[in-house]
C-alpha cells in the first residue's frame, strides 16, 4: 500500500502509513480478524521513529503504531541537507545503501526508503534497496541505517553543519556572485563606433553601378540576345543637309 500522510491537525509530526495488513488469529472460538499498521513519524527536523500497531480495526491500529513510533524516536545528526557519510545496513531480509548527495540533488529513493528519509528532513540523498523488496523490511533497514549513523557520529565526535548554516552560506555565495557580475558590467568599456556614420532616418539613395538604371529612367531597348542596343551613328546624308541649311542661313 503506498505511503500517505494521515490527517493530523494538532500534531507537530508528520505521520505516514507505510503498510496496512489484515491478520488472522486462530482461537478456541474461531478465527479472530485484526489489522496491523506500519507507521513512520517524523518532524522533518532530525527526529524520526518507526512503529507497528495491531488492533481489531484500522484506526486503532494506526493510533497504536504512531504511539510506538514516538516512543522509539531518535534524533538524527544531519550534515546540512544530507547524511554525513555513506552506509550499507542489513537487517533481516532488508538491505539498503544510503549515500550523501550534493545540495540540490533531491531525494533519490524508493517508496519505503523515501518515506523514512523525508520524515527525518533529509533533502539530498541517494539510496538503493539491495535486499528484499518488502516494504516493512526496507523501512526497518533504513531506520537501522540512520541509527547506525547516529552512533558513529557520537563515537567519532564529528562536527556537522546545520541546515541554517548551509542556507546562510548559500545566500552569502549568491550575494558575492551578484556583486561580481555587477562590478564586471560597470568596468566593461563601451564599444567604439569604428567609423560608422550616423545617417538620418528615412530613405537613403544608394550609388548607381555601371549598367544599372536610375529610378524613373526608361530602360534602353535590348537586342535579341538580351544586351542593350548600341546607339546608332548619324547618317552622312543628314550631315550634308544640315551643313547646307547652315550656309543658306548665314548668306
The domain ranges of the chain are 4-75, 87-156
- Please check whether the domain covering 87-156 is classified as CATH 3.50.50.60: no
Q: How far apart are CA 52 and CA 134, in angstroms?
A: 15
What fold, for 4-75?
A: Double Stranded RNA Binding Domain (3.30.160)
Q: What are phi and psi of 114, to 5 degrees?
A: -60, -40
> Kind of pairing, strands 47-55 and 30-42?
antiparallel
pLDDT at 189 over 80: no
Would the pLDDT of 235 be above 90? no
Which residue in this structure is represented by grid cell 518507526?
Answer: 50
| Residue 221: pLDDT over 60 | no
pLDDT grade for 9, boundaries at 50, 70 and 90: very low
* pLDDT band per the 50, 70, 90 thresholds, residue 52: very high
Closest residue by Cα to residue 148 from 92, 98, 82, 94: 98
| Residue listed under C-alpha cell 535579341 | 224
Could you report the per-residue pLDDT of 95-152, keeping only the tens digit for each?
A: 999 999 988 889 998 888 999 999 999 999 999 999 888 999 999 999 999 999 988 8
**210 pLDDT higher than 70:** no
Q: Give the residue from 223, 203, 228, 202 showing the smallest Cα distance to 213.
A: 228
Please, which pLDDT band fits residue 5 given cuts at 50, 70 and 90?
very low
Amino acid at each position: 500500500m503506498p505511503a500517505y500522510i494521515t490527517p493530523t491537525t494538532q500534531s507537530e509530526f508528520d505521520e505516514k502509513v507505510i503498510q496496512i495488513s489484515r491478520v488472522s488469529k486462530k482461537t478456541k472460538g474461531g478465527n479472530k480478524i485484526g489489522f496491523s499498521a506500519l507507521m513512520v513519524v517524523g518532524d522533518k527536523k532530525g527526529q524520526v521513529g518507526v512503529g507497528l500497531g495491531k488492533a481489531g480495526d484500522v484506526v486503532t491500529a494506526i493510533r497504536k503504531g504512531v504511539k510506538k513510533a514516538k516512543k522509539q524516536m531518535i534524533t538524527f545528526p544531519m550534515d546540512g541537507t544530507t547524511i554525513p557519510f555513506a552506509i550499507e545496513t542489513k537487517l533481516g531480509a532488508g538491505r539498503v545503501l544510503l549515500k550523501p548527495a550534493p545540495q540540490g540533488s533531491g531525494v533519490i529513493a524508493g517508496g519505503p526508503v523515501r518515506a523514512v528519509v523525508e520524515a527525518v528532513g533529509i533533502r539530498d540523498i541517494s539510496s538503493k534497496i539491495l535486499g528484499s523488496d518488502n516494504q516493512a523490511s526496507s523501512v526497518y533497514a533504513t531506520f537501522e541505517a540512520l541509527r547506525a549513523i547516529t552512533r558513529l557520529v557520537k563515537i567519532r565526535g564529528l562536527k556537522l553543519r546545520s541546515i541554517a548554516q548551509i542556507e546562510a552560506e548559500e545566500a552569502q555565495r549568491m550575494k558575492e556572485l551578484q556583486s561580481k557580475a555587477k562590478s564586471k558590467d560597470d568596468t566593461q568599456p563601451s564599444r567604439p563606433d569604428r567609423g560608422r556614420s550616423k545617417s538620418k532616418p528615412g530613405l537613403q539613395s544608394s550609388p548607381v553601378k555601371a549598367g544599372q538604371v536610375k529610378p524613373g529612367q526608361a530602360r534602353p531597348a535590348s537586342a535579341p540576345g538580351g544586351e542593350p542596343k548600341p546607339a546608332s551613328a548619324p547618317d552622312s546624308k543628314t550631315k550634308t543637309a544640315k551643313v547646307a541649311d547652315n550656309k543658306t542661313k548665314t548668306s
